[in-house]
């Protein structure tokens, strides 16, 4: 059933964000005379991302592509939201474009920059619980922002997006934190020889003179980090997935025949995932193969981003490529439908996606998961020392938000899931997985939510188990494998990750063995 953003999902979102926003709301009650200042929702890793005082219901992002990927796009972003407290002004995240004008409820509003924030002052105060519409006319710059990760990706023939972690505000004004999911509409105008594709389903294609406007709309709420717009000389290939699901892939037109054998695998991969965790959660799915060197793949909602080279480089074994495809597909359940409430909950995204990546390789390519788990266990203490425990990752370096995508939230988190399966049994673990994505579908969830659900499914307290596995400085003993040892960090310092651990460290080089006894090609990683 499709969910109306003005009813249950939005009310639930407001309740779930209450704890995160409570500490930040007080700073939102600024007088109109106070200096503009950056705000945030108090995320432990990114304290100045997101903004308190309102709850976004929908974005309408209108982009005009000039036909060159080194020139700014003209853009209009319209945001519909509710106020959650009385406001004299409000902040949006926006850091890489020129703002032309701002309106609130159709009336001109003042605006100023403050750090990565666009601070807006309406011509009258906004009462708590009021519905408002913010319209920002701006440019969107496709050239890389200095000392910043993410945003537009310049491809050989156009553009795509890679907004993780929280880099959507390098493309359009938004409340750039996964705790505030919303519905999206994209309108992309480009010269007639380009094709534009975005999240969700197409609702119209209008050609006027030398340009065409493509419109796409999501049917489920989405975090800003998962937004995707592809503009290029591309072909859209269509097929049918399980239960009549529309599947559409976006590929460079010149490569469509060479890439088709890979694309044809997607329906069966969706069916495999449905057999593990239940129905696919969105209105469509597909693969976007970009002619770009990103160093990673990315689970943008309903249209996962891949480097074309992953599918054309002969050195990548077939099983490895397919397992990476399943990793990004898994994210549609884990991370996209069920989104992290804070960035410290990232292990829930990446651990689960890496789990099903490894399980697929085990079932389809005879790559035993236990071998990977044991190798990860050997490296785990080093990962915890360098990146923090899975549920308490260390902050990234300044200007490098993707620095949180370390092995501790990939294979380090897979260790937690494997240990949990060992602890509660396979049957209970599989029930937990299905219950997790069903209970929190189209919403956000925390590590504490997962702990509570696991305890309920297992029928016993798991507090001690999770305390050690999620937050401990050292890796606890693995249930059922008392002989496994994790090497001390000092013994591994400066060395490459343990042999046999398949790399899913999203923005770092892959650390897995693509073939027995050898490291995989240095392709980069999965998101």
- Give me the tens of pLDDT residue by residue for the chain, a chain 527 residues long: 222 333 333 333 444 444 444 334 333 333 445 688 889 999 999 999 999 999 999 999 999 999 999 999 999 999 999 999 999 999 999 999 999 999 999 999 999 999 999 999 999 999 999 999 999 999 999 998 887 778 999 999 999 999 998 799 999 999 999 999 999 999 999 999 999 999 999 999 999 999 999 999 999 999 999 999 999 999 999 999 999 999 999 999 999 999 999 999 999 999 999 999 999 999 999 999 999 988 899 999 999 999 999 999 999 999 999 999 999 999 999 999 999 999 999 999 999 999 999 999 999 999 999 999 999 999 999 999 999 999 999 998 766 667 899 999 999 999 999 999 999 999 999 999 999 999 999 999 999 999 999 999 999 999 999 999 999 999 999 999 999 999 988 754 443 333 333 433 333 333 333 333 333 443 445 57
Write out the residue range of the structural domain in which residue 296 sits.
Answer: 233-325
User: Residue 453 has which token pair?
Assistant: 């659900």
Residues 211 and 64 in one domain: yes
**Listed residue (200, 186, 192) closest to 248, CA to CA:** 200
User: Do 227 and 238 sit in the same domain of this protein?
Assistant: no
Tokens found for residue 379? 């490296």
Assess contact for 32 and 119: CB atoms under 8 A: no
Q: Are residues 227 and 262 in the same domain?
A: no
Instruction: Report if residue 468 sits inside a domain.
Output: yes
Residue 311 host element (H or E): helix 309-312
Establish if 31 belongs to a structural domain: no
Q: Is residue 49 part of a domain?
A: yes
The total of structural domains in the chain comes to 3
Q: Where is the domain boundary, 201, 231, 261? A: 231
Which of 231, 259, 285 lies at the terminal end of a domain, its last residue?
Answer: 231
Q: What's 84's domain CATH number?
A: 2.60.40.1730
**Same domain? 66 vs 202:** yes
Report yes or no on 367 lying in a domain: yes
Residues 56 and 172 placed together within one structural domain of the fold: yes
**Among candidate residues 139, 143, 132, the one with its CA nearest the CA of residue 118:** 139
3-state secondary structure of 99: strand
At residue 169, the pLDDT reads: 96
Q: Can you say how many angstroms the Cα of residue 420 is from the centroid of all Cα atoms in its chain?
A: 24
Same structural domain, 210 and 68: yes
Residue 449 sits in a domain of what CATH number? 1.10.390.10
Q: Please give the DSSP secondary-structure letter assigned to residue 350.
A: H
Sheet holding 159-162, edge to edge: 151-154, 159-162, 229-232, 195-198
Cβ atoms of 374 and 481 closer than 8 Å: yes
Task: Collapse the DSSP code of 517 into the 3-class scheme (helix H, G, I; strand E, B; otherwise coil) and give the result.
Answer: coil
* SS3 category, 197: strand
Report the alpha-carbon angle 140-118-403, nearest 5. 70
Neighbours of 314 (CB within 10 A): 6
Co-location of 315 and 356 in the same domain: no
Instruction: Indicate if 244 and 192 belong to the same structural domain.
Output: no
For every residue of 229-252, which 3-state class applies, written as one string? EEEECEEEEEEECHHHCEEEEEEE
* Pairing verdict, β 90-93 and 246-252: unpaired
Shared-domain flag, residues 114 and 204:
yes
Same domain, 275 and 358: no
Residue 73 belongs to some domain of the structure: yes
For residues 312 and 188, state if they share a domain: no
**Last residue of one domain, picked from the residues 325, 360, 386:** 325
* 8 A C-beta contact, residue 164 and residue 150: yes
SS3 label, residue 191:
strand
What are 215's strand-pairing partners?
Answer: 187, 204
Give 247-278 as a DSSP string: EEEEEEGGGHHHHHHHHTTHHHHHHHHHHHH-
Q: Are residues 302 and 388 in the same domain?
A: no
């Amino acid at each position: 059933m499709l969910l109306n953003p003005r009813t249950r999902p939005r009310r639930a979102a407001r309740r779930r964000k209450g704890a995160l926003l409570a500490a930040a709301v007080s700073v939102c009650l600024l007088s109109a005379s106070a200096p503009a200042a950056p705000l945030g929702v108090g995320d432990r890793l990114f304290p100045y991302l997101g903004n308190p005082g309102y709850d976004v219901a929908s974005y309408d992002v209108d982009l005009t592509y000039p036909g060159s990927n080194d020139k700014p796009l003209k853009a209009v972003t319209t945001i519909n939201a509710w106020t959650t407290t009385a406001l004299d002004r409000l902040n949006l995240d926006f850091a890489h474009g020129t703002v032309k004008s701002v309106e609130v409820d159709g009336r001109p509003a003042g605006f100023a920059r403050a750090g990565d924030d666009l601070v807006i002052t309406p011509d009258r105060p906004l009462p708590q619980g009021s519905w408002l519409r913010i319209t920002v006319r701006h440019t969107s710059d496709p050239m890389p922002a200095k000392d910043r990760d993410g945003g537009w990706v310049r491809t050989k023939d156009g553009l795509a997006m890679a907004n993780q972690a929280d880099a959507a505000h390098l493309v359009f004004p938004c409340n750039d934190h996964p705790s505030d999911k919303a519905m999206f509409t994209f309108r992309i105008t480009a010269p007639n020889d380009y094709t534009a594709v975005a999240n969700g389903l197409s609702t119209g294609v209008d050609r006027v003179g030398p340009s065409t406007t493509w419109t796409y709309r999501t049917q489920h709420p989405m975090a800003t980090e998962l937004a995707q717009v592809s503009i290029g000389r591309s072909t859209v290939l269509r097929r049918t997935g399980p239960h009549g699901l529309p599947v559409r892939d976006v590929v460079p037109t010149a490569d469509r025949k060479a890439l088709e054998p890979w694309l044809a695998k997607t329906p069966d991969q969706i069916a495999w995932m449905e057999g593990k965790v239940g129905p696919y959660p969105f209105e469509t799915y597909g693969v976007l193969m970009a002619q770009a060197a990103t160093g990673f793949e990315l689970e943008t909602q309903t249209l996962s981003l891949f480097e074309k080279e992953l599918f054309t480089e002969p050195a990548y074994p077939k099983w490895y490529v397919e397992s990476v495809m399943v990793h990004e597909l898994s994210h549609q359940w884990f991370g996209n439908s069920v989104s992290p409430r804070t960035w410290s909950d990232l292990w829930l995204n990446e651990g689960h996606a890496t789990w099903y990546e490894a399980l697929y390789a085990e079932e389809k390519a005879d790559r035993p998961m236990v071998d990977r788990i044991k190798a990860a266990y050997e490296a785990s203490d080093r990962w915890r020392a360098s990146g923090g425990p899975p549920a308490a990752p260390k902050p990234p370096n300044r200007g490098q938000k993707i620095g949180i995508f370390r092995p501790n939230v990939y294979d380090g988190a897979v260790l937690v899931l494997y240990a949990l399966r060992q602890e509660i049994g396979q049957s209970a673990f599989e029930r937990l997985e299905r219950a997790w994505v069903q209970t929190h579908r189209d919403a956000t969830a925390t590590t504490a939510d997962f702990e509570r659900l696991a305890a309920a499914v297992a029928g016993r307290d798991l507090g001690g188990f999770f305390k050690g596995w999620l937050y401990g400085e050292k890796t606890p003993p693995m249930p059922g494998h008392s002989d496994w040892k994790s090497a001390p960090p000092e013994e591994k310092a400066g060395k490459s990750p343990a042999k046999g651990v398949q790399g899913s460290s999203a923005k770092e080089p892959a650390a897995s063995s693509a073939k027995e006894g050898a490291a995989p090609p240095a392709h980069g990683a999965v998101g």
